[in-house]
Structure 1
Amino acid sequence: MGSLADRFVPYGPSHWVLMALIVVGAVAFAAVGRWQRDPRTAVLFARTLAVATLLFNVPLLIYRLLPAQWDVGESLPLHLCDLAWMVAVLALWTRQPLASALVYYWGLTLTPQALITPAFDAPDFPHVDFIEFWGQHLLVIWTAAYLTWGVGIRPSWRGYRFAAAVTVGWGAAMLAFNSWAGTNYGFVSRKPDNPSLLDLMGGWPWYLGVAAVVGLAGWALLTWPWTRRSASPIPG
C-alpha cells in the first residue's frame, strides 16, 4: 500500500489530466472516423482498436483472478464498466447496431459519471490499479465517440429499448448476486463510499428507482435528436 501522498486524489493533477484526455481523445477518435473514406481502412482501424482494447483489458482481468489478487467483491468482471469494454470490442469488430447502442448509452452517460465522481481509492499513476481503472473507462468513451460521430452508427429507439432492457436486467442480476455473495457490484445494493449523484436520490432501495427514471429519461433525450434526422441509422 502506498503512502497517502502517493494515492489518487479526486480533482488532483492526475484527475484533471485524465478529464482532458477524455475530451481530446473523444474528439480525435471522432475526427479519425470522419476522415476515413476507404471502407477497408475504416474496418482495419476499428478492428485494430478492438484488439488493442482486448490486449489492454484481458491481461488485467486475468491478473485480478490470480489467487494473490482475488477478492470476490472486486475481481469478477460484473461492474457495468467491465461489460462496457467487452461490448465495445464487439461493436468495433462487427458494427452491430445494438452493441453500438449499448456503447453509446453506457459510454456517454454511466462511464463519464464514474470518471467525474470516481469510486477509486487506490495509488496514483503509474500503479496498475490506476492504469486499469482509467484506461478501461477512457477506451469505452473513445469508442462511443468513434462509432457515433466518426463511423456514423446512430442511436435509434430500438437501440434505446434494447439498452434499457439489458441495463435493467443486469441491475436485477446484480441485486441477486450481491445478496448471495455479500458484494456490491454495480452499487445496486448500497451506495459507494465516495460522493456521487446517487447521494441526491434518497436511500436504498429508493435511489435505484430514481436512478432508473432519471437514466431512462436522459437516454431518451440522447436518442431524440438522432431520430429527428432524415437519415436512417447506418446498418451494421
Structure 2
Amino acid sequence: MGQADTAGTFTPYGVSHWVLLGVFAVGALLLVRAGRRHRGTRAGGLFARAFAVSLGLFAVAMQVYRVLPSQWNIGVSLPLHLSDFTWIVAVYALWTHRQWAYSLTYYWGLTLNPQAMLTPALDAPSFPHIDFVDFWTQHTLVVWAAIYLTWGLGMRPVWRDFATVVMVTTVWGVAVFWFNRVTGTNYGFLNAKPNNPSLLDVMGPWPWYLAVEFVVGLTAWALITWPWAHSTGIPARWRNSAKS
C-alpha cells in the first residue's frame, strides 16, 4: 500500500500518486466514450475547441506565473522543454484537427508525458503547491488530448507523421542544446542528467545517454505507428488529411 506524502514532498506511488493515476484513467475512458459520440458532429468540434481553450488558458497562466519577477529563473522559466511545445501543439490540434499538430501531440503526448507521470521527480512538491498543480494538470490534459483525438474522434498517425516527429524533435534538440551551452541552462536535460533519479541513469553517462534516449524514442514511436499504419479502419477523413 502506498505511503502518504510527507513534509510537503510528493511520494512516488504513494496515496496521492495512485489517486492521480486513477483520476487520469477514469478521465481517459470518459473522453474516449465522449469522442466516439462526437465523431462527425458539431458537438465534437465545439467540445474539442472548449478543451483547447481550457488547456491553453491553464498553460498560459502557468507560463505567465513562471516569468514574474518573483519567480524568474532562466534555467526553469522559459518554455523550452519538449513538454512545453507539446501543450502548444495539443491546443492547436484540438482547435484545428490539423494532421501535423495531431501527430506531434500523439507521439510526444503518449510517450514523454506518461513517462513523467509514472516516474515523477523524487523531490517534487506535493499538493497544493503550484508546481504540483501545474505538473499534473498540464501533463494529464495533454495525454487526454492525444487520447481524445485518437481513440475518441478517430484521428490516426501514418509513417509520414513518424518522419515529421523525428525531424521536429531533432531540430528542437539541436537548438535547445546550443541554447543551454550558451546560457548555462539544462532544458530537456540535454546537457546533463537531472539531479533526481530518472530513467536516464540507466542509459549511460553524458553524452551517450542522449543517443540511447533517441534510439529508445524512435523505437517507441515506430511501435505506436505500426498498428495504425497497417490498419484498414482509418476513417477516410483522417486518411485524406494525412496526405495533405
- In structure 2, the partner of 1:11 is 13
Task: Decide whether the 8 Å contact of 2:55 with 2:91 is kept in 1.
Answer: yes
List aligned pairs for 1:155-234, cutoff 5 A. Answer: 155-232=157-234, 234=238
Determine if the alignment matches structure 1 residue 92 to structure 2 residue 73. no
Comparing both chains, which one has the higher relative contact order based on Cα–Cα distances under 8 Å and sequence gaps of 6 or more?
1
Shifted more, 20-29 versus 165-174: the winner is 20-29
Flag as ranges the 4+ runs of structure 1 deviating above 2 A.
Answer: 119-123
Partner SS, residue 6 of structure 1: coil
Amino acid at match of 2:8: D
Counterparts of 1:232 and 1:184 in 2: how far apart (Å)?
40
TM-score (normalised: structure 1) = 0.94
Shifted more, 151-160 versus 112-121: the winner is 112-121
Change (3 A) 1:37 1:187: closer
Identify the match of residue 22 of structure 1 among 18, 24, 29.
Answer: 24
Change (3 A) 1:104 1:38: closer
Q: Percent identity?
A: 56
Counterparts of 2:191 and 2:122 in 1: how far apart (Å)?
18
1:52-84 Cα deviation digits (max 9, x unpaired): 011211111101100000011111011111111
Counterparts of 2:94 and 2:111 in 1: how far apart (Å)?
19
Task: Decide whether the 8 Å contact of 1:117 with 1:194 is kept in 2.
Answer: no
CA shift, 1:137, in A, is 0.3
Amino acid at match of 2:62: L
- In structure 1, the partner of 2:54 is 52
Counterparts of 1:13 and 1:76 in 2: how far apart (Å)?
32
Aligned-residue Cα RMSD (Å) equals 1.6
- In structure 1, the partner of 2:154 is 152
1:13-66 Cα deviation digits (max 9, x unpaired): 211111222222222211110111552110000000000011211111101100
Amino acid at match of 1:21: V
Amino acid at match of 1:174: V
Counterparts of 1:223 and 1:96 in 2: how far apart (Å)?
17
Task: Decide whether the 8 Å contact of 1:124 with 1:130 is kept in 2.
Answer: yes
List aligned pairs for 1:58-137, cutoff 5 A. Answer: 58-119=60-121, 121-137=123-139
CA shift, 1:172, in A, is 1.0
Question: What residue ranges of structure 1 are gaps of 5+ in the alignment?
Answer: none
Question: What residue ranges of structure 2 are gaps of 5+ in the alignment?
Answer: none
Counterparts of 1:133 and 1:40 in 2: how far apart (Å)?
32
Partner SS, residue 5 of structure 1: coil
1:176-207 Cα deviation digits (max 9, x unpaired): 01101111100111111222221111110001
